[in-house]
Amino acid sequence: MLHMKNINLENKRVFIRLDLNVPLDGEKIISSERIDRALPTIQLALKKNAKIILASHLGRPKEGCYDKKLSLLPVFKYLKKKLYGTNIIFYKKYLEGINVESNQIVLLENVRFNYGEITNDIELSKKYANLCDIFIMDAFATAHRIEASTYGICNFVKKSCIGPLLYSEIKILKNILNKPKHPIVTIVGGAKVSTKIKLLSSLLKITDTMLLGGGIANTFISIFHSVGKSLHEKNFKNKAKILFDTNKIILPVDSRVSTSYSINATATIKPVSNILPHEEILDIGNETIKNYKSIIKQANTILWNGPMGVFEFPNFRRGTEEIAKSIAYCAAYSVAGGGDTIAVINLFNLYNNISYISTGGGAFLEFIENKTLPILEKLKN
């Protein structure tokens, strides 16, 4: 794949697809991490005297409809402060063409306000391509999506290449998958086995030990015990049993349970073999925490995706907190990815203690599953 650092961008109109999909509270940016990770790419384009067009989505607006709550205007204001002294402007309407000068930055309004973005519409892809001479894909978090601004544009633009953030994400993940340092311990949490069944199968091929939590663990526990009214997927018990028979999966031996699903629910620690019909598992128990921490301590490489329970509820946070801190303070090389995982890292202030935090959730998982992504195959050609 071509890398933007190796291309002459002088006076060229470059369309850089970034991931500026940050959490907002009104117009206030709650976490600027994704914007900050994109800044070196923007600065490289400035250094190369390019005519810079930045594009991103934000949230999930109704396609073709403007939604003030999901405008990129707060992102524009943040960029203006971070790139103080730079000529940066904001375009709401741009599909019929825009004027952009060398060393100028144009931020386009949320691409998902455009009809046909998510469906990879051909006409919209052509309009994006007409805005530029070179397309630079640098949004790892959306690299698994076949959309007009991430994929379709490549079919019509003169030249396409990869940006430094996407390059670094792929390089690090490839090194882990191709040259892993054993023992590899994988920690997978989250709600459903059905969304991660392929991921679990792929990870079990390279991992030495897999630790499960959340609703995913409940489906595995239900193979052997009743899980009461806990979140689990009965239809996936047989597939879960096949994965469990690899003898690499470690399950919780005890859980924090409650009779109600609420932020004020009280926790009772019980063995997983003793869950009553009116009870539900909302976190791992102390004995499981102890077991998991002893396994994590022996790891040389850690892959982490998903919380151990309902960490949003204070009484069911301990499992996720203890395991997250164990990963963070372990000597192993640790890679974390996924929206909930990053939320956990921020909640417990562990950002500087994880070796590598992937900006992607779905892309992180799909790359581990398939060792490639649709846009990477497109850029190779």
Q: From the candidates 82, 248, 270, 339, which is the catalytic residue?
A: 339
Q: State how far the Cα of 37 lies from the Cα of 378, in Å rounded to an integer.
A: 24
Q: From the candidates 34, 51, 256, 318, which is the catalytic residue?
A: 34
Instruction: Show the tokens assigned to 248.
Output: 């690499």
DSSP-assigned states of every residue in 271-300 = EGGG--TT-EEEEE-HHHHHHHHHHHHT-S
Phi, psi at 294, each rounded to 5°:
-65, -35
Q: Is 13 annotated as a binding residue?
A: no
Q: Is 58 annotated as a binding residue?
A: yes
Active site residue 127: no
Q: Is 60 annotated as a binding residue?
A: yes
Q: Is 338 annotated as a binding residue?
A: yes
Q: Is 318 annotated as a binding residue?
A: no
Q: How many residues does the chain have?
A: 381
Q: Is 17 annotated as a binding residue?
A: no
Q: Is 204 annotated as a binding residue?
A: no
Q: Is 20 annotated as a binding residue?
A: yes
Q: Is 59 annotated as a binding residue?
A: yes
CA atoms within 13 A on the CB side of 15: 32
Q: From the candidates 5, 116, 325, 362, which is the catalytic residue?
A: 362
Instruction: Show the tokens assigned to 191.
Output: 């709600």
Q: Is 145 annotated as a binding residue?
A: yes
Q: Is 312 annotated as a binding residue?
A: yes
Give the largest CA-CA distance in the chain: 69
Q: From the candidates 82, 159, 192, 229, which is the catalytic residue?
A: 192
Q: Is 163 annotated as a binding residue?
A: no
Q: Is 190 annotated as a binding residue?
A: no
197-205, Cβ contacts within 8 angstroms, sequence gap of 24 or more:
197/236, 197/239, 197/243, 198/369, 199/305, 199/365, 199/368, 199/369, 200/243, 201/243, 202/368, 202/369, 202/370, 203/303, 203/368, 204/243, 204/246, 204/248, 204/249
DSSP-assigned states of every residue in 217-238 = HHHHHTTTS--TT-S--GGGHH
The three-state secondary structure class of 119 is: coil
Active site residue 192: yes
Q: Is 196 annotated as a binding residue?
A: yes
Active site residue 362: yes
Binding residues for (2R)-3-phosphoglycerate are 34, 112, 145
Binding residues for substrate are 19-21, 34, 57-60, 112, 145
Binding residues are 19-21, 34, 57-60, 112, 145, 196, 312, 338-341
- Positions annotated as catalytic residues are 34, 192, 339, 362
Binding residues for ATP are 196, 312, 338-341
